[in-house]
Amino acid sequence: GENVEQHPSTLSVQEGDSAVIKCTYSDSASNYFPWYKQELGKRPQLIIDIRSNVGEKKDQRIAVTLNKTAKHFSLHITETQPEDSAVYFCAASLGTGNQFYFGTGTSLTVIP
Amino acid sequence: EAQVTQNPRYLITVTGKKLTVTCSQNMNHEYMSWYRQDPGLGLRQIYYSMNVEVTDKGDVPEGYKVSRKEKRNFPLILESPSPNQTSLYFCASSLSLSLKSEKLFFGSGTQLSVL
């Protein structure tokens, strides 16, 4: 099955700096890559996703890039704010009729 | 309000005592799934269901059962819980994986402790 690796496991940045979280996947058939944010004690929530036919997607301060050849995708958060502090999970899916494979999570701390 | 409802939020039980964690969604979603979250291991899929009466094993199905008799409900059953099933459990649903509507809506989680 698919194997998703996520790095780093913890990340601390100063407020206003950028944060980058990287994930790799093993199955070249995976075609959907979402990112979920989980605040302390809360449920995971989708923040951005990308499909394999797109190389980059942006939503305000958040962007995701995908390199299909290298089988890796990254989450970029610019101008970080304290409310960005959370655990972030990447995931991969083969799409129709298949399951989601999550990374092990990155705990991001934004220092005011 | 559109939501995924899980019950209970917290559960302490003893080894071998059968339990059920309920999950219900009111969004007419086809796809439902269960995950367990453990420190350092992220979210691991236990079972998933593409539609009524269709269920499949995820990565860690051992010791769990599910059923999907109605579209809205997807209970997780632990027939004989063991301490290694102590974990935070999440139910999730999405409209339909086949319609490019894969966004997962998660329940609020169930913290299970098996003594």
pLDDT digits (tens, 9 = 90+) for B22-44: 999 999 999 999 999 999 899 99
- Per-residue pLDDT tens listing for chain A (112 residues): 789 999 999 999 999 999 999 999 999 989 999 999 999 999 999 999 998 888 999 999 999 999 999 999 999 999 999 999 999 999 998 866 568 899 999 999 999 9
Residue of A nearest to B91 (CA): A43
Cβ neighbours for A41, distance < 8 A, ≥ 6 positions apart: none
Contacts of A90 in chain B (CB under 8 A): none
Q: Long-range contacts of range B103-107, CB-CB < 8 Å, 24 or more positions apart?
A: B103/A34, B103/A46, B103/A49, B104/A34, B104/A36, B104/A44, B104/A46, B104/A100, B104/B33, B105/B2, B105/B3, B105/B4, B105/B25, B105/B27, B105/B29, B106/A43, B106/A44, B106/A45, B106/B4, B107/A43, B107/B4, B107/B5, B107/B6, B107/B23
Closest CA to A99 of B71, B54, B88, B6: B54
Report chain A residues touching chain B, CB-CB < 8 A.
Answer: 1, 6, 9, 32, 34, 36, 42-46, 49, 89, 91, 93, 95-105
| Interface test mutation site (partner B, options A31, A40, A42, A102, max chain B beta carbons within 10 A) | A102
